[in-house]
């Protein structure tokens, strides 16, 4: 049996740029890990492909998966579910390959409870003023909504304490490099490799 | 006040090649950390320079430092003391610079007790047959001594469990790269950076 892969979770406050960083990581072709595609009940947007951007399923299918413990994490936004199907993650890990999740902080908390051995990386804004500016620059929200989101961001940043690593999303190239660096380093942690050495010592 | 530097400890069984790896790391000029020079009571060998290879001191000076708690770790081999002076390490860490120690496993255990926040990296042989061959190749020991050293090596490899990371010394370039990678990643650990974020959140 292959050595089980490592679960990598990238999270951080809304608006910090998790999606951009994740895409930049997967544009590089030297990755040894598999991106876990989320499942959602929302309608595909223009150009979105089922099985690439998301797994698009019906509400009843999604609720059925929740009821059967088949979601590693999930959340409901407005009227739609978003989440990570457990089976795909477990199959990939069992095959020996690492799995990379990019999810919201609530989802990350759920994953930490179920898979505490994962590597949890928190993406942070360089500062909160900068974060506010990014949300404003999107131009999709009014000021009341922005203030509400900022309060949420502060609460979310405080959850950093429950993560293993913190990466600042200031320079995209640096952030991508740091995340890949963390993943390489984690593979060398004694807690992950010691079983192999026990085998080596057992050969004597 | 500068943020205190990080202590990095490279150790591993006798004969694994700690010194070679350490020298290869310090031949690179892009390191952000300072090598901590050991102190010894043995005589300088041909070409060894005081303050570069070792700090060469008298036996009474060394024992005086032990008595005053001024050695971070030390050991006695045959009739000579070897160890790490505490003051130099603390001064360098206080200035914000990381300190790199390359020491025996007994010394590493002493350092772990005094500075548990350090990054402890264990250098391992690819396998024990290979380790035995390396010791034989040195040509400085007879077989009885080699067997005794092998037993010691097995005991030493078991101490790996007390370390944070394990790096295999198979390919020197890979080992050096992995160690530098570990050091970079450790700087991103939440336990090390969270105080800075608390400050950021306090600014609101």
- As a whole number of angstroms, the distance between CA A49 and CA A26 comes to 17
pLDDT recorded at residue B155: 85
Q: Which residues 96-125 of B are in CB contact (within 8 Å) with A?
A: 122, 124
Q: What is the per-residue DSSP string for A12-31?
A: -STTS-HHHHHHHHHHSS--
A142 vs chain B: nearest CA distance in angstroms?
21
pLDDT recorded at residue B203: 61
Q: Tell me what the mean pLDDT of segment A133-154 comes to.
A: 78
Annotated binding site of B for ATP: 12-19
For helices A128-138 and A143-158, give the axis angle rounded to 10 degrees.
140
Interval B161-197: pLDDT, tens = 999 999 999 999 999 999 999 999 999 999 998 887 7
Q: In the structure, what pLDDT confidence band is assigned to residue A173 with cuts at 50, 70 and 90?
A: very high
Give the helix/strand (H/E) hosting A166.
Answer: strand A165-168
A185 vs chain B: nearest CA distance in angstroms?
5
| Mean per-residue pLDDT over chain B, rounded | 90
Q: In the structure, what pLDDT confidence band is assigned to residue A197 with cuts at 50, 70 and 90?
A: confident
Q: What is the ipTM for the molecules in this complex?
A: 0.84
CATH of domain A7-36+97-202: 3.40.50.300
Give the helix/strand (H/E) hosting B172.
Answer: helix B172-186
Q: In the structure, what pLDDT confidence band is assigned to residue B56 with cuts at 50, 70 and 90?
A: very high
Comparing alpha-carbon positions, the chain B residue that sits nearest to A200 is B127
In this predicted structure, the answer to whether residue A38 has a pLDDT above a threshold of 70 is yes
Interval B94-112: pLDDT, tens = 999 999 999 999 999 999 9
Q: Tell me what the mean pLDDT of segment A149-166 comes to.
A: 87
A52: left (phi over 0), alpha (psi -120 to 50) or beta: alpha
Q: What is the per-residue DSSP string for A41-64?
A: -SPPPTT--BTTTBEE--HHHHHH
Q: Do B154 and A186 touch (CB under 8 A)?
A: no
Residues of B90-125 as b/e, b for ≥16 C-beta within 10 angstroms? bebbeeebbbbbbbbbebbebbbeebeebbbbbbbb
CA distances from A123 to A9, A19, A153, B24, B175 (A): 10, 11, 12, 33, 28
Of B166, B185, B197, the CB nearest to A193: B166
- As a whole number of angstroms, the distance between CA B17 and CA B22 comes to 9
A71 vs chain B: nearest CA distance in angstroms?
27
DSSP conformation class of B54? B
CATH of domain B7-36+98-202: 3.40.50.300
In this predicted structure, the answer to whether residue B131 has a pLDDT above a threshold of 70 is no
DSSP conformation class of A66? H
Q: Which residue has the tokens 């402890």?
A: B120
Beta strand pairing call for B39-40 and B80-85: antiparallel
Interchain CB contact of A158 with B (< 8 Å): yes
For helices B172-186 and A172-186, give the axis angle rounded to 10 degrees.
110
Give the helix/strand (H/E) hosting B17.
Answer: none
Tokens read off for B80? 């000579």
3-state secondary structure of A93: helix
Q: Do B189 and A165 touch (CB under 8 A)?
A: yes
Where are chain A's structural domains?
A: 7-36+97-202
3-state secondary structure of B164: coil
Residue B135 phi/psi, 5-degree rounding, is -65, -40
Contact B34, B92 (CB under 8 A): yes
């Amino acid at each position: 049996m292959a050595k089980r892969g490592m679960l990598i979770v990238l999270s951080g406050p809304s608006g910090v740029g998790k999606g951009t960083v994740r895409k930049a990581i997967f544009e590089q072709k030297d990755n040894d890990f598999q991106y876990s595609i989320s499942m959602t009940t929302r309608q595909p947007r223009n150009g979105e492909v089922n099985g690439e951007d998301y797994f698009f399923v019906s509400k009843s299918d999604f609720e059925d998966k929740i009821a059967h413990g088949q979601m590693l994490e999930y959340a409901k936004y407005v009227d739609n579910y978003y989440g990570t199907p457990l089976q795909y993650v477990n199959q990939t890990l069992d095959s020996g390959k690492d799995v990379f999740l990019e999810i919201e902080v609530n989802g990350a908390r759920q994953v930490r409870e179920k898979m505490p051995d994962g590597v949890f990386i928190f993406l942070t804004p360089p500062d909160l003023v900068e974060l506010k500016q990014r949300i404003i620059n999107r131009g999709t929200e009014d000021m009341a909504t922005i203030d509400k989101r900022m309060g949420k961001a502060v609460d979310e940043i405080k959850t950093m304490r429950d993560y293993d690593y913190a990466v600042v999303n200031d320079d995209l190239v640096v952030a991508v490099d740091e995340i890949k660096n963390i993943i390489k380093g984690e593979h060398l942690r004694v807690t992950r490799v010691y079983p192999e050495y026990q085998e080596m010592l057992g050969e004597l």
